[in-house]
Structure 1
Amino acid sequence: MLLLTFSHHNSRSGNRWLAVTAYLFLLLIPQLTNAAPGDTFNATVGTTVMYDTNVFRLSPLIDPALVLGVPARSDQIITSTFMLNLNKVYSMQRFEANGSLVDNRYNNFDFLNFLGKNYTAAWHWYATPYLHGRLSGSHSEALNNFANLTGFANSTTQNLRTNDNYHFEGIFEIDRSWHLIGGLDHSVTKNSKITVQDFNNQISSVEGGIRYTRPSGASLTYKVRSGRGEFINRPQPIEASLFDTRFDEMEHDLRMLWPVTGKTSIDARVGYLSREHKHFPQRDFAGFVGNFNLNWAMTGKVRVTASWARQLSNYQTVAFAFLNPNFQRFSSSFVVNNRFSIVPLWQITEKIALRMRYDYVLTDFHGAIVSLPTDSRSDSMHSGLVALDWQPLKILFLSAAFHRDRRTSNLRGFDFDSTAGSFTAKLNF
């Protein structure tokens, strides 16, 4: 997807990106004029206007004037978009590519303005009908989630998070039912400003396993992944904070896809993830991860997805990371998230749909390296979304949405409330 801002106060920037867009179109014209069956090409231009009552997810205990310089917590955000997508088929090979520019403009907190550049590309390769796979790459840029940064020194600044991923997967079909799978993966995560809880890092992994499939679409896959990671730009460990230079990961994963009936399907995964650090075993963690998704088409117009997911993630902190006395100090090495979700969709008519989503997230912080008088941190968050979508024409999509988030914590300063309303308009070509 390509996201582009058309703002009257930034005409020079707009003209530059229009020129880039025109150039991309010229490059892709030969692809369009020689389109084969199965080829697709489309472009989308869109704008979302959002009003958010608590942009930085500040606790009611925090005076915004002290951390932001202004008494306001809310802002109006305009996100303008331009997207290009291409799907091209050559014989047995299929290529997918999409690119996007995402321009975000804040009215009150204009220091958060940024232009995000994103892309994904994939080659679905076939050597023979029995040996095939996928080679892909992706790049994304976005602001760090302010809810994850609450309490830290950089929690109210522009901190862009960049993710790059490169993945190769191969599948060898022994017969119609049994398949051998293997792959390589390399991921790089960087922040534009130093963060305490999730440092710049890169992980290189090798994975392999076996899959059993049925003609009905059901499958059972076992896979094991071994990864080696390092914290970028940290040549030596920091002993005072127990911040390491390198770590190793091992993950065992069992996944099931099961179309129970014509209207119901189950997508489930259970795994065991462990991470070991080179110098400081106090930072190590391990545990069960997984998810369970139940998809139910109640009627021809109503669908419901109910989900549970458990995730373990790095979250390294030290006691002195919290400079504001309104925040209770805590220490941790990793975080456990348990998310429960329900997502109903009602296709009212061919052109109108009502979407809803409710999430309840339990977050526990573990692996303290500093003994403090406070308890370990534990949060719970309720999130809700209601959206009405209308597509009066094939090229026009309109959507209005209402968002609500509320987090409570056993520690002072980490709770917040936020409400947001948004309107989106897209043109598809």
Structure 2
Amino acid sequence: MPILDRLFVASTLAVSLVSPVFADPDDTFNIYVAAGAQQDSNLFRQAANEQSDTVQTTSLTLALSKPFAQQRFSLDATLIDYRYSKNDYLDYQAKNYNGAWNWALSYRLTGVLSASRTEAQNSFVDYTESTPERRKNVRQTDVNHLGAEWQVRGGWRLLGGLTNTEQSNSQTFSQQSGFVLNTWEAGAKYLWPAGSYLQLLRREGDGEYIDQQLVSFAMLRAPFNPQHDTDFRQIETEARLFVPFTGKSTLSAKLAKQAREHQHFSQRDYDVYVGRLDYSWQPTGKLSLNSSLRREVAAYQDYASSYYLGDGVNLQPTWQISARTVMRLNYDWQRRRFDGELIAGLAERRDTLQSIRLGIDWLPARWATVTTSIQRDSRKSSRDNFDFSTNILSVNARLNF
């Protein structure tokens, strides 16, 4: 029996049972069990020789949330098993968690101590590898953060924090190498009685690439030197604004200048403006729209680039068809400009990516959710053989205890 048929039968049987036990968001402890299947017509995002595959997932999530006086403790831990029907060498298990202690020494001095880990296969949009045994490349990202907020007087608050970020790949991914980055941040925030706020932050940190080896010009001259550095410094100045216009709409904005300076190869440096504008609108009780504009930067180091700037638009309308059924549409468009080339005269790379997804969530009972979706992703690139398109069909079922 095909996996989609098996999943449909399992979901139908599950929701047909009468269960006296179900999760409640206010419970101290909850358990979530989920199973799903995703049919992808072009798994490796290739322009030619497309390969389809079905990815089966099963997951178990344990969620804990406990208030204690002015403190709140929370922990979500999830184990996800990924199984590929045709390319079973890609199989892996992801162990993710997100824990936080929202602390308060007084009503004026509050903060958060948090730790998180995510594990996922590197996207084949960015990671290209023709050798099967090297295609499995799981990225692990750990973030540890300590933040504090002190209410000085009235709406004025002082902010500060320390963050440790570590990212690693199970295979070499020279364009987006693993790194360790330790940063501090400090700033101020003004909060108006209506809930609006304006926040200014300065963030600085030192980073180290953990899977790159320095090759000096004494060892290999330009233009053949890959100029992969070992250390960098990152500096960011950020402004944030949040405005709740009415009970039906909100606006949030971020504008920042981010710079990355490398210890040995200044050709890899960048100094750019990034930002994001989000607007949420709920015209009726059944209709809502989340929309955003964004500019982001990401390191992408090869001979033709050191980083890319991504300009994007996202639209997410939602329709509450009934008390138990919700329809969601997600459209995302992004244009990437790759800059910081090492060799003059190389053809510039420009990519345009689009994704459109239509999904339906069905809640047959308080303790069960069934989600189906159809999605189409594509890329148009100035590089030869970088175009692709793929169709994705997915079905997921989740039980809450």
| 1:288 alignment partner in structure 2 | 273
Matched, 1:49 2:37: yes
| 2:14 alignment partner in structure 1 | none
- Summarize the Cα distance change of 1:151–1:107 in structure 2 as closer, same or farther, 3 Å threshold: closer
Equivalences, count? 372
Q: Is the 8 A contact 1:252 1:272 kept in 2?
A: yes
The one-letter amino acid of 1:337's match is: G
| 2:311 alignment partner in structure 1 | 338
| 1:205 alignment partner in structure 2 | 183
For the residue of structure 2 that corresponds to 1:298, the secondary structure is: coil
- Summarize the Cα distance change of 1:284–1:152 in structure 2 as closer, same or farther, 3 Å threshold: farther
Q: If the length of structure 1 is used for normalisation, what is the TM-score?
A: 0.84
For the residue of structure 2 that corresponds to 1:197, the secondary structure is: helix
CA offset at residue 175 of structure 1?
A: 2.0
- Summarize the Cα distance change of 1:59–1:216 in structure 2 as closer, same or farther, 3 Å threshold: same
| 2:141 alignment partner in structure 1 | 163
Question: Which whole-Å CA distance do the structure 2 matches of 1:152 and 1:168 have between them?
Answer: 41
CA offset at residue 234 of structure 1?
A: 4.3
Unaligned stretches of 5+ residues in structure 2: 1-5, 7-24, 218-224
CA offset at residue 90 of structure 1?
A: 1.3
Q: If the length of structure 2 is used for normalisation, what is the TM-score?
A: 0.90
Question: Which whole-Å CA distance do the structure 2 matches of 1:349 and 1:286 have between them?
Answer: 49
CA offset at residue 365 of structure 1?
A: 0.4
Question: How do 1:104-115 and structure 2 match up within 5 A?
Answer: 104-115=82-93
Question: Which whole-Å CA distance do the structure 1 matches of 2:157 and 2:297 have between them?
Answer: 29
CA offset at residue 154 of structure 1?
A: 8.0
The one-letter amino acid of 1:300's match is: G
The one-letter amino acid of 1:359's match is: D
CA offset at residue 78 of structure 1?
A: 0.5
| 1:40 alignment partner in structure 2 | 28
| 1:415 alignment partner in structure 2 | 387
Matched, 1:194 2:152: no
CA offset at residue 339 of structure 1?
A: 1.1
Identical amino acids, percent of aligned pairs? 33
CA offset at residue 40 of structure 1?
A: 2.5
CA offset at residue 236 of structure 1?
A: 3.7
Q: Which runs of 4+ in 1 moved over 4 A?
A: 151-156
| 2:375 alignment partner in structure 1 | 403
Match of 1:297 among 277, 282, 299: 282
Structure holding more strand per residue: 2
For the residue of structure 2 that corresponds to 1:216, the secondary structure is: coil
CA offset at residue 152 of structure 1?
A: 7.5
Question: Which whole-Å CA distance do the structure 2 matches of 1:38 and 1:402 have between them?
Answer: 33
Q: Is the 8 A contact 2:177 2:211 kept in 1?
A: no
Q: Is the 8 A contact 1:205 1:227 kept in 2?
A: yes
CA-atom RMSD, angstroms? Answer: 1.9
Question: Which whole-Å CA distance do the structure 1 matches of 2:332 and 2:379 have between them?
Answer: 12
Match of 2:195 among 217, 222, 227: 217
CA offset at residue 298 of structure 1?
A: 1.4
Q: Is the 8 A contact 1:38 1:89 kept in 2?
A: no
| 2:299 alignment partner in structure 1 | 314
CA offset at residue 252 of structure 1?
A: 0.5
Q: Is the 8 A contact 2:144 2:165 kept in 1?
A: yes
Question: Which whole-Å CA distance do the structure 2 matches of 1:424 and 1:314 have between them?
Answer: 34
- Summarize the Cα distance change of 1:274–1:159 in structure 2 as closer, same or farther, 3 Å threshold: same
Q: Is the 8 A contact 1:146 1:155 kept in 2?
A: no
| 1:68 alignment partner in structure 2 | none
For the residue of structure 2 that corresponds to 1:348, the secondary structure is: strand
- Summarize the Cα distance change of 1:365–1:359 in structure 2 as closer, same or farther, 3 Å threshold: same
